Amino acid sequence: MNFYLYLFLLIIFPFQIFSQEIVVGNIYESQITNFKNKKLNVPLPPGKWKATESEKGGMNWKLWWKATLINENDGGELYLAIPYVQSGADTWAGGSMKKCGEWIQDEAKNILAQGAKRSNPQRTYCISERNDNWLHINLNTRTMNTPIKYYYYDLYYPLRSINMIEMNNKNTLIAIGETGMNGLARALNGDSSNFSIFGKLLKDGSFANSNSLSDSSSKFSNLSNFSVCRSAMKNDGSGWVKYNDYVEEATSRSLTIYKCRDILNIKDKAEVKKKDNNTVKSKLEELKILLDDGLISKDQYDEKSSQLLDEL
């Protein structure tokens, strides 16, 4: 009787029975299925991935669930913004998705490969070598009709873990990019995806030794200060996250919150505001000089100074 009841439930409520969450401290492999009953999946690159952050997004990220997973064998870092709250059709009005966003281009030493598919869901990929010696694989996919869902997927590997021959192989990069963006689009629709091809980019055996996951003495030995700070700090740089292992490692390396902000290039809000105020002050002084020298009229001075003050 129990068997038939289970079979009935499996047929009627398949997604409710097989649902996973991302829990801080847990280790995941291959794929996270039907995340939080949202009928979408999270495909994972090769290896074992430990969750270090998992929470509903705030401020400008209220429509997403934010999660970070770390591969402690090869130093890989995965940052996810998983669609969590439905939105209206006007949320992303304004055209096609960019292959490589401006923020990626600003941080890139080289754009290695990029591509897009303008179907529904729309999808893009961008693979870049960053100025800080990391490889970045950016994947995005978005539905084109309501309910609008936008899925962000950012994967980073330190270059020391990368097979440079494959990184310079255009065919390999295109295959990885297309597999990634198409796989993420399938995951958005709740279908399975396989990201094992990502392992081509890694040096042989870089993620094969699972013993390092339980070896606390060497747990952080291959991680850079950048990697430790990224996992220890909140995204906005306001303080440490709740997960203590990376925070303890950061403090053992004498990495303070302020040092980590510098390493991650996170600007303190007060400093940015002070800098902006100084810029406005200097512009007002320049306007006053132009007025005193008769190069602009009083009306022009009043108009321009009002505009500058409105920016504060």
The per-residue pLDDT for range 155-197, each reduced to its tens digit, is 999 888 899 899 999 999 999 999 999 999 999 989 999 999 9
**Number of independent structural domains in the chain:** 3
Q: Is residue 13 part of a domain?
A: no
Same-domain check for residues 125 and 26: yes
pTM above threshold 0.75: no
Q: Where are the beta strands (DSSP E) in 143-240?
A: 150-158
Same-domain check for residues 164 and 61: yes
Same-domain check for residues 134 and 198: yes
Tell me the residue type at 227. Answer: S
Q: Is residue 5 part of a domain?
A: no
Of 165, 183, 209, the residue at which a domain comes to its end is 209
Q: Which residues constitute the domain of residue 196? A: 20-209
Give the distance from CA 29 to its chain's centroid: 19
What pLDDT does residue 277 have? 54
Q: Is residue 246 part of a domain?
A: yes
Mean pLDDT of 61-67: 85
Same-domain check for residues 296 and 155: no
- Tokens for 310, please give them: 């409105």
Q: Is residue 105 part of a domain?
A: yes
Q: Is residue 10 part of a domain?
A: no
pLDDT (tens digit per residue) in 289-310:
777 766 678 887 788 777 777 6
Round to whole Å and give the CA distance between 205 and 189. Answer: 33
Q: Which of 78-92, 179-193, 226-240 has the highest mean pLDDT?
A: 179-193
Q: Is residue 14 part of a domain?
A: no
**222 closest CA partner among 79, 50, 74, 77:** 74
Residue recorded with tokens 């705030």: 58
Tell me the residue type at 288. Answer: K
Round to whole Å and give the CA distance between 72 and 218. Answer: 10
Q: Is residue 174 part of a domain?
A: yes
User: Which of 111-125, 196-210, 251-265, 293-307 shows the lowest per-residue confidence on average (mean pLDDT)?
Assistant: 196-210
DSSP secondary structure letter of residue 81: E
Same-domain check for residues 168 and 74: yes
